[in-house]
Amino acid sequence: MGSLGLNLCQRKYALDILHESRFLSCKPASTPMITGQRLDKGDGVALSDPGSYRQLVGRLLYLTATRPEISYAVQQLSQFVDVLTSTHMSAAHHVLRYIKRAPRQGIFYPKGDHMQLNVFSDSDWVTCSTTRKSITGFCVFLGKAFVSWRSKKQATADLERPSTLFCDNKSAMAIAENHVFHEKTKHIEIDCHIVRDKVAQGLVKLLYIPSSSQIADGFTKALPTSQFALFVSKLGVQNLHTIQLRGVLEDETYKENKSVVK
């Protein structure tokens, strides 16, 4: 912990994963997943023993506690623990190559008393070709501190055409289609309209943000190198080794300048 904040990383744990997977000497990768890659059950050649893959995915899931930038890649990998193929294993190895690039990387929590809560949310529509489900991602900042995030497949499928729901209650249909509160809807619990209610109270603001500035974008898809680097920087994820090296250089510069003054 420094004077500017707290840096959390799992360096030893990351190195243990690389060592046990025999990837300590691998060539580093700049991103945890190949740009635009989308894994499927039928990709590659089926492998008979998924045990090592399951163990690796489990360890990577634990690593996301301080490495949120690999959340999307690990979420993708976790879908295939029962139908492992060579493509899935190759994708898992790519994550290991990314970890090798900076095992000291972790989340930085800056000091400060700014308590503004900001939330970013994004969805990649019908990403999964098998289930026709979308990937949803969100991240939450308390001031400048990155406090919560998630990358997950939606529980329901997005359909290309609307579903037909037959109902024999015209009042219920009118309420569903009419967003305006009136006398007939006073019995409905407020928690059914919680977001709308908080917006009306001014406690929540819904603001548009362009895709280029959407931080949660990295939790829904595999980004190219330049966009991924920007995504990581906005999360407050830093390489502790780089920070320590910068501090050493600054100390050396200070000592040199001090000796010159004498």
Residue 221 within a domain: yes
Q: Name the average pLDDT for the chain.
A: 83
Residue 49 within a domain: yes
Q: Given pLDDT bands bounded at 50, 70 and 90, which one contains residue 255?
A: very low
pLDDT, tens digit (0-9, with 9 covering 90-100), for 154-192: 877 666 677 677 777 777 677 666 656 555 555 555 555
Residue 236 within a domain: yes
- Residue of higher predicted confidence among 252 and 106: 106
| pTM summary value | 0.79
- With CA atoms as reference, report the closest residue to 71 among 257, 242, 244, 231: 231
- Mean pLDDT for 52-61 is 95
Q: What is the pLDDT of residue 256?
A: 47
Residue 239 has pLDDT above 50, yes or no: yes
Residue 43 has pLDDT above 70, yes or no: yes
Q: Which residues of 122-140 are buried (b: 16+ CB within 10 A; e: fewer)?
A: bbbebbbeeeebbbbbbbb
Residue 81 within a domain: yes
Q: What is the pLDDT of residue 148?
A: 94
Domain that holds residue 251: 5-159+204-261
Residue 151 within a domain: yes
Q: Which residues pair with 238 in a beta bridge?
A: 106
Tokens of 12: 């030893």
- Mean pLDDT for 95-110 is 94
Distances (CA, A) of 70 to 103, 132, 186: 13, 23, 45
Question: Structurally, how many domains does the chain consist of?
Answer: 1
Q: Which residues pair with 117 in a beta bridge?
A: 142
**In this structure, which long-range contacts are made by residues 55-60, counting pairs with CB atoms below 8 Å and at least 24 apart in sequence?**
56/17, 56/21, 56/92, 56/96, 57/81, 57/92, 59/13, 59/17, 60/17, 60/92, 60/95
**Rounded CA separation 151/218 (Å):** 9
Residue 256 within a domain: yes
134 Cβ partners below 8 Å, 6+ apart?
A: 123, 124, 125, 126, 127, 128, 153, 154, 158
Residue 44 within a domain: yes
- Mean pLDDT for 231-241 is 87
Q: Given pLDDT bands bounded at 50, 70 and 90, which one contains residue 199?
A: confident
Q: What is the pLDDT of residue 215?
A: 92
- Mean pLDDT for 66-88 is 94
**Percent residues over pLDDT 70 in the chain:** 79
Residue 186 within a domain: no
Q: What is the pLDDT of residue 116?
A: 87
Residue 53 has pLDDT above 60, yes or no: yes
Pairing of strands 117-124, 105-110: unpaired
